[in-house]
Amino acid sequence: MKRLALPLLAATALLLPLLGKAQSDSHYPTKPVRLIIGYAPGGSADSLARLIANRLSVQMGQTFVVDNRPGAASSIGANAVAKSNPDGYTIFLGSNANTINVTLYKKLPFDLQKDLAPIGLVASFPNIMVVSPSLPVKSVSDFIAYAKAHPNAVNYGSSGLGSSTFIAGEMFRSMAGIEMQHVQYKGSAPALTDLMAGQVQVMFDNAPSVLPFVQSGKLRALAVTSPQPQGFLPGVPTMTSSGLPGYEISSWYGLFAPAATPSAIVAALNKELNIALQDKSLREKLAALGATPEGGTAEAFKAHVSKEIPKWATLIRNSGASAE
């Protein structure tokens, strides 16, 4: 009996930490969760993060606290999560900007695909081509004609080099065969301010940033960049139907965790995210932002990220953009 007891005790000692860990995972979360985003308060990412955090707090019984870590096109926030404790109590709201950064930046302090575990796709937004109402154009074709008639006098604003607003502008310049000068800003807010003041002539920003200004008449929407027209902008055509077939670009956001986060915790967060995205109240709030709720499995989101990196890489290389 003594000979049997010693190996049994040893095996039990080895299993106890694993059993304790499994039990803690099954009771997750037992304390507040930090949701880091790579942008300053007040923008579309911040608005989305707070909506998701509030809903997950209600569902999971612990507070999800939004932690803004702006800088380097969301890379500072992503790096903070990549290097955090993989216990499920620090997660990240990433976006297509993070897949753009893989090519845009010569060197990142983390590997998006190796150091972060996809949890789930949250929402997507079309970009909207907007101009100041003072510009004498009412359609995309009008704008192209105006740009050709005023060479080197048309500037487009972006929220930063390598952002989707920059990529959208470069795509438009190339596909329309016109000359436009790029003016980059530190975020959408100052760019939109200058657009309304006539300092730049056009911008291709995502729906949450520009909708309030379009609805108030401070900006004019010429087209949406999605494959289909959007119900929140009745009468505004797509780029394709405006004479630029194949012009499609959108922004998306999704949740990530540190790579070594237990699969049970990733699965729990994915499950709750999908439940949240079916909530009527949340869907109405997302619709007000011009967002389409997404959801789906963690595996599907991982595949989405993998496809996005080479797509953006081609556009970045064609634009010649790079960042340190």
* For residue 96, pLDDT beyond 70: yes
User: Which pLDDT score is estimated for 67?
Assistant: 97
User: Quick one: pLDDT at residue 87?
Assistant: 98
The string of DSSP codes covering 67-97 is EE---GGGHHHHHHHHTS-SSSSEEEEEEHH
- Of residues 254 and 322, more confidence is placed in 254
**C-alpha–C-alpha distance, residues 142 and 223, integer Å:** 12
Span 134-156, pLDDT tens digits: 999 999 999 999 999 998 899 99
Q: How confident is the model at residue 25 (pLDDT cuts 50, 70, 90)?
A: low
pLDDT of residue 14: 55
Can you state the angle between helices 188-196 and 207-215, rounded to 10 degrees?
30
Evaluate if residue 23 carries a pLDDT over 60: no
| Average pLDDT for 7-16 | 52
Radius of gyration of the chain, Cα coordinates, nearest whole angstrom: 23
Query: Binning pLDDT at 50, 70 and 90, where does residue 72 land?
Result: confident
Residue pLDDT, tens place only, 272-295: 999 999 999 999 999 988 899 999
φ/ψ region of 149 (left if φ > 0, alpha if ψ in -120 to 50, else beta) reads alpha
Mean pLDDT lowest among 165-169, 216-220, 305-309: 165-169
Residues 191-209 as b/e (b if ≥16 CB within 10 A, e otherwise) read bbebbbeeebbbbbbbbbb
Supply the pLDDT for residue 45.
87
pLDDT of residue 19: 45
Given a cut of 70, is residue 8 above it in pLDDT? no
Do the beta carbons of residue 140 and residue 242 sit within 8 Å?
yes
- Cis peptide, bond prior to residue 29, ω within 30 of zero: yes
CA 237 to chain CA centroid, Å, is: 24
Q: Classify 125 as helix, strand or coil.
A: strand
Q: Which residues pair with 250 in a beta bridge?
A: 126
Does position 322 have pLDDT exceeding 90, yes or no?
A: no
- CA distances in angstroms from 41 to 108, 210, 246, 276, listed in the order given: 24, 16, 34, 22
pLDDT at 44 over 90: no
DSSP string, 224-274: E-SSS--TTSTTPPBTTTTT-TT---EEEEEEEEETTS-HHHHHHHHHHHH
* Res 318: pLDDT: 81
- How many whole angstroms separate alpha carbon 134 and alpha carbon 56? 43
pLDDT higher than threshold 90 for residue 6? no
**pLDDT class for 51, splitting at 50, 70, 90?**
very high
Query: Which range (20-24, 78-82, 188-192) has the least confidence?
Result: 20-24
With the C-alpha atoms ordered 201, 205, 209, 215, is the resulting torsion angle positive or negative? positive
Nearest to 74 by CA among 252, 277, 240, 247: 252
Amino acid 189: pLDDT:
84
SS3 content of the chain, % helix, strand, coil (to 5): 45, 20, 35
The pLDDT value recorded for residue 160 is 80
Domains of the chain are 33-125+250-319 (3.40.190.150), 126-242 (3.40.190.10)
| pLDDT for position 112 | 98
